[in-house]
Amino acid sequence: MNQKYEKIFQPYKFSSGVEVKNRIMMAPMTTYSSDDQGVVTDAELAYYADRSAGVGAVITACAFVIAGGKGFPGQLSAEDDSFIPSLRKLAETIQSNGSKAILQIYHGGRQSPPELLPDNQPVSASSVASKEDAPVPREMSEEDIQDVIRAFGEATRRAIEAGFDGVEIHGANTYLLQQFFSPHSNRRTDKWGGTLGKRLIFPLTVVNEVEKTVAEHANKPFIIGYRLSPEEGSNPGITLDDTLQLVDRLANQNLDYLHISVGHFWNGSFRESDRTKSRIVKIYDKVGNRIPVVGVGALHTPDEVAEAMETGVPFIALGRELLMEPHWIEKIRSGKEMEIRTTLSKKDQAELVIPDPLWEKLIGVKGWLPVVD
């Protein structure tokens, strides 16, 4: 292995006590490949098995915590105890190849398609549609809010019982936790909205519920991560300054890491006056001495990952890179980094072990991956 990549392979012990073998995580990516009830399929297990040997940890596709929060067809479910055997298969598949298994837990809020919901009615912090032609969500009642908080805790318990090494709370990508934090989607005047401080209450309460569940049910070290998006393009919308206040609060929780969801590691703010400095690096500068930060976004080669880590950011999550090259880490370790695929060939589905529903999305969505014939 080339010595310039040594930092990538350094092990790390999180504050929870879980140790990972290197600094690369597999980013959470929707697979669309569970069955209609949310049970993991054999094709999905094979997909994870082929990508979990090299990385330090695999963050799964998001699992919905309650039926009213389902966001995708073919989405993994953690909504009741009947799904524990399914979740156990997934955890064991990832762990059998030496990686830590982290279940991402999720509620879609107003982004949930009505046709996937039991009552065909998305819910959110307020009755504000995400855009002009989108469904108008029902404003959540106090009972709804408490039900969802408990659901995140129960999904965490199921992850523990299924043998996962941790959970990642999905507070990014405009889904429910972000909707409570956002001034666009949260227009409430009760204790759950209004000021920035009140808009923080719901996501922090979910974090507290997850932490309480881990303290009560985990009999070995267990990771808790939190994923967030630093800005919104809507007006009103989340600003980077808002997010710096959020991460300051999250850094005081018993979390193991913050995962920053952006399209490109080096991109600066698209709404602040300083548009040159990476938003990930700004967040790292704010709280990186208190909590590990996971960076992500368009870091395709080992040189690009090594350069990003020179900022001090201790972890990098790879998504599209592991779709195109499942053995990204192994090839670096064996000195074969020049053999890493950087395009997706239409002929390579079987070799890349990608389930049909996900393959159709990868081939059909123009611009997301560099697809070649």
Can you tell me the mean pLDDT for 5-25? 97
Percent of the chain with pLDDT over 90: 94
Expressed in percent and rounded to 5, the helix, strand and coil fractions of the chain are 40, 15, 50
Torsion sign, CA atoms 163, 164, 165, 168: negative
Can you tell me the mean pLDDT for 324-341? 96
Q: Where does residue 15 rank: exposed (0-12), middle (13-18), buried (19+ CB within 10 A)?
A: middle
| CA 313/CA 327 separation, integer angstroms | 23
Contact 197, 119 (CB under 8 A): no
Q: What band does 373 get if pLDDT is binned at 50, 70 and 90? A: confident
Contact 321, 9 (CB under 8 A): no
| CA 294/CA 265 separation, integer angstroms | 10
Give the 3-state DSSP-derived string for 215-267, with helices as H, strands as E and coil as C: HHHCCCCCEEEEEECCCCCCCCCCCHHHHHHHHHHHCCCCCCEEEECCCCCCC
For residues 190-227, one letter each, b for 16 or more C-beta atoms within 10 angstroms of the residue's C-beta and e for the rest, the string is: eebbeeeebbbbbbbbbbebbbebbeeebeebbbbbbb
Kindly state the tokens that stand for 63.
């699992």
* Amino acid letter for position 64: F
DSSP 171-221: E-TTSHHHHHH-TTT----STTSSSHHHHTHHHHHHHHHHHHHHHHH-SS-
How is the chain split into domains, by residue range? 3-372
> Domain 3-372, CATH 3.20.20.70 — does that match?
yes
Report whether pLDDT(274) > 80: no
Can you tell me the mean pLDDT for 109-117? 98
Report whether pLDDT(243) > 90: yes
Of 13, 4, 9, 17, the C-alpha closest to 220 is 17
Q: What band does 332 get if pLDDT is binned at 50, 70 and 90? A: very high
Of 71, 162, 151, the C-alpha closest to 108 is 71
Check residue 356 and give its pLDDT.
Answer: 97
pTM of structure: 0.97
Check residue 153 and give its pLDDT.
Answer: 98
Contact 61, 30 (CB under 8 A): yes
Instruction: Give residue-wise pLDDT tens across range 278-310.
Output: 999 999 999 999 999 999 999 999 999 999 999
Angle at 266 between CA 265 and CA 270, to 5 degrees: 100
Contact 257, 292 (CB under 8 A): yes
